[in-house]
Amino acid sequence: MAATRVCFVCLGNICRSPTAEAIMEHRLGFEEIGVHVEVESAGTGSWHAGHPPDERARDEATRRGIPMGGTARQFEAADFARFDLVMAMDADNAAVLRSLAPDDAARAKVHLLREFDPDAHGDLDVPDPYFGGQEGFADVFDMVDRSVIALIGHIATPRD
């Protein structure tokens, strides 16, 4: 069986999407889901390309025992051919991704990560913690963690 390839996407690829990538990789290490999952992250913007994740995001991950590495990069239209699921952190980034998509099949790969959050209650955006304090990073971590757990269940569920 081929791998399921997932790319998490936020604005700059230094806060939310690398958090999701790190959590997903960590959680997959404990799951026997019967499929192989490849995980990456990217941003819709280019200004942080080449930078490591935000120190506050790394601090929150470290506090929770999850390694976080990587280097920011910008999502490109060609990435649609590489990924099965493109998980946007908010509606604005989802709209940018859909505008980059070369066709309807590529657009159909774009989802909001919090579509999988059982506590979302209609609010499907993961807020950008960049301009706030550490508490915002902790809140984002919790939202993303819940969403990733449910996303793993979704990937693991056999489909017709």
Rounded Cα gap, residues 34 and 86, in angstroms: 21
* Residue 27 is a catalytic residue: no
Token digits of residue 78: 């060609």
pLDDT at 29: 85
User: Domain 4-156 sits in which CATH superfamily?
Assistant: Response regulator (3.40.50.2300)
Q: Point out the catalytic residue in the list 15, 16, 56, 79.
A: 16
How many DSSP H helices and E strands does the chain contain?
5, 4
Q: What is the residue whose two structure tokens read 């959050």?
A: 117
70: region left, alpha or beta (phi > 0 left; psi from -120 to 50 alpha) = left
Rounded mean pLDDT of 49-61? 97
Instruction: Please pick, among 10, 15, 58, 117, the residue that the annotation labels catalytic.
Output: 10
Residue 138 CA: distances (Å) to CA of 89, 99, 141: 15, 31, 5
Q: How many CB atoms lie within 10 A of CB 35?
A: 14
Active site residue 10: yes
pTM, entire model: 0.95
pLDDT at res. 32: 67
Catalytic residue among 79, 90, 125, 128: 128
Domain ranges of the chain: 4-156
The string of pLDDT tens digits covering residues 58-110 is 999 999 999 999 999 999 999 999 999 999 999 999 999 999 999 999 999 99
